[in-house]
């Protein structure tokens, strides 16, 4: 009987340093705000060249896990911003040829429970931010380039009102991917702006009243209306969305 083995993977030293630092960050040994030792000290501890440490730090910095404060030579542990994570997920989804229909279907599942949670948990400050987003959409609705981000911003503010980081991170990549098609739809369908503004008002009223069922129902209707808008605009929902 013949036996075969996979080749042993040999990683560059900087990757091993990066992995060791990442393990300390993910197991919370190093928390957000903690400063790392200097490059020379890290090089001494790991038994590698300083250039190796520098490359490892650069890799973690590009992942949003480290940053250097102005005026400091030391790297500090950070949490990646939601937008940073969403950019990466959005690009990955686009490279997997997701379509506007895929994104729309995902939002029909995600957004109603997000609206329910927002209605239950929102604070007065949350409600004010949601209202402001709705007002900004109306104020910018005459400008298509402003209206599309405004429509997505409304969803983001509702997500923030859940105080659930998973909800916030889950729908952000989808909103980013959907923005270009929203822009195209608003530009082609005359009644789209007024229908979006009306839906925003109804959703805000439900969240203000802490009416979870009403908020979920209205946001579900709002998302269904988006698809109707795409159909009226003649947008092919099956075409893959290009990466941002």
The predicted structure's pLDDT at residue 15: 93
Q: What's the mean pLDDT in 219-240?
A: 89
The predicted structure's pLDDT at residue 146: 64
Cβ atoms of 147 and 141 closer than 8 Å: yes
Band of pLDDT at residue 35, cut at 50, 70 and 90: very high
The predicted structure's pLDDT at residue 209: 97
Band of pLDDT at residue 186, cut at 50, 70 and 90: confident
Question: Which residues are CB-contacts of 207 (< 8 A; sequence separation ≥ 6)?
Answer: 115, 118, 119, 122, 127, 130, 158, 161, 215
The predicted structure's pLDDT at residue 237: 85
Does the structure show a pLDDT above 70 at 127?
yes
Neighbour tally for 55: CB within 10 Å: 17
User: Which token pair is 5?
Assistant: 């083995």
- Cα angle value 48/54/60 (rounded, 5°): 115
Q: Which of 74-83, 122-131, 156-165, 217-226 has the lowest mean pLDDT?
A: 74-83
Domains of the chain: 13-77 (1.10.10.10), 82-233 (1.20.120.530)
Does the structure show a pLDDT above 80 at 82?
no
160: three-class secondary structure by DSSP = helix
State the sign of the Cα–Cα–Cα–Cα dihedral 160, 162, 168, 171: negative
The predicted structure's pLDDT at residue 142: 63
Q: What's the mean pLDDT in 53-77?
A: 90
């Amino acid at each position: 009987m013949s036996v075969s083995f996979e080749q042993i993977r040999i990683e560059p030293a900087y990757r091993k340093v990066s992995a060791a630092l990442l393990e300390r960050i993910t197991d919370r040994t190093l928390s957000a705000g903690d400063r790392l030792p200097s490059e020379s000290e890290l090089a001494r501890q790991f038994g590698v060249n300083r250039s190796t440490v520098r490359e490892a730090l650069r890799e973690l910095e590009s992942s949003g896990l480290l940053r250097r404060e102005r005026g400091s030579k030391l790297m500090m542990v950070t949490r990646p911003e939601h937008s940073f994570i969403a950019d990466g997920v959005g690009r990955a989804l686009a490279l997997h040829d997701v379509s506007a229909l895929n994104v729309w279907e995902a939002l029909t599942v995600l957004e109603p429970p997000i609206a329910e949670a927002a209605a239950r948990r929102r604070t007065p400050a949350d409600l004010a931010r949601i209202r402001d987003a709705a007002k900004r959409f109306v104020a910018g609705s005459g400008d298509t380039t402003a209206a599309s981000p405004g429509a997505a911003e409304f969803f983001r503010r509702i997500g923030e009102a859940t105080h659930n980081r998973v909800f916030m991170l889950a729908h952000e990549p989808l909103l980013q991917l959907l923005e270009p098609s929203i822009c195209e739809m608003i530009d082609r369908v005359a009644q789209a702006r007024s229908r979006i503004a009306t839906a925003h008002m109804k959703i805000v009223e439900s969240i203000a009243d802490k009416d979870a069922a009403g908020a979920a129902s209205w946001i579900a209707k709002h998302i269904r209306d988006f698809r109707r808008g795409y159909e009226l605009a003649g947008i092919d929902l099956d075409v893959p969305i290009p990466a941002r």
